[in-house]
Amino acid sequence: MRIRAGYQIVYDCPQPTPMLLMVSPHPSRVPDLEAPHLITYDPPIGSHHYTDGFGNTCTRIVAPPGRLTIATELTISDSGLVDPVVAHAVQHAVQELPDEVVVYLLGSRYCDTDRLSDTAWSLFANTPPGWARVQAICDWVHNHIVFNYEHASAQRTAWDAYMERRGVCRDYAHLAVTFCRCLNIPARYCTGWLGDIGMPPPYGPMDFAAWFEVYLGGQWHTFDARNNMPRIGRILMARGRDATDVAIATTFGPCTLADFRVMTDEVP
């Protein structure tokens, strides 16, 4: 399967504004690209790429005063298969986890494990450890959070999502990640493209998606509390502890988001 994906992001800046962008395909998906990935800027500006501590490709720019359009379009090969279900994947004891995985047991900016630990154990202590427990978490989050773009908030933590029972895909992911960590299951936040391939219409507006991965049975596995079903055509951009680590754009100065469009379509 071939998928065409892209975006157009427009900012208005009153002054030169440094920005940190995370809008490139994850290095693990680069071999699947049909051509080298290129970010375009209008007006043309310089940029600098580096790899962060989580293995993501980051881009540094200084947006000029006025309007800046950031865009890309890519075509990528994909297996066309749905997310794997590995029901026999086991949960590891904490002392058996690899050193580099332990960080994904800790609380973070949006995953306030200290406030949800007792809740997590009261809800899921009687579920079988391993894959079934993570799926039970996804089921609970999926059924207790109401999705609506009007509910989006950059300040909402997992605790807030639990209390308010509303949010967008990042809130589903944050709450599920937090419950997993409270139950000693390493979990990390993911962002990228996820279109409607294989899904029946009607289709909602396209946006970047958030899902998460858990470490079971010696490897990482994909889960998605927002959709709560195996999906086709995920294109990973970045992974981290939560949305702080993988923000699409972090701006170091005043600016206004003037336009935001995301596209993901199967190539016939």
pLDDT in tens, 72-95: 999 999 999 999 999 999 999 999
Q: How crowded is the C-beta side of 179, counted as CA atoms within 13 Å?
A: 28
Q: Is residue 33 part of a domain?
A: yes
Q: Is residue 116 part of a domain?
A: yes
Written as one string, the DSSP assignment of 147-177 is: E-GGG--TT--HHHHHHH-EE-HHHHHHHHH
> Is residue 181 located within the same domain as residue 261?
no
* Range(s) of the domain holding residue 39: 2-79+248-266
Residue 204 has pLDDT above 80, yes or no: no
Backbone angles phi, psi at 116, to 5 degrees: -115, 5
> Is residue 32 located within the same domain as residue 108?
no
For residue 257, give both structure tokens. Answer: 């988001």
Non-local (6+) Cβ contacts of 88 within 8 A are 130, 131, 217
For residue 80, give both structure tokens. Answer: 């066309």
Domains contained in the chain, number = 2
- Identify the residue with better confidence: 200 or 159: 159
For residue 115, give both structure tokens. Answer: 């406030």
How much is the pLDDT for 190?
A: 98
pLDDT in tens, 87-130: 999 999 999 999 999 999 999 999 999 999 999 999 999 999 99
> Is residue 223 located within the same domain as residue 116?
yes
> Is residue 231 located within the same domain as residue 127?
yes
Please tell me whether the overall predicted TM-score, pTM, comes out greater than 0.85 for this model: yes
Q: Is residue 160 part of a domain?
A: yes
Angstrom distance (rounded) from CA 177 to CA 137: 9
Amino acid at 229: M
- Identify the residue with better confidence: 167 or 206: 167
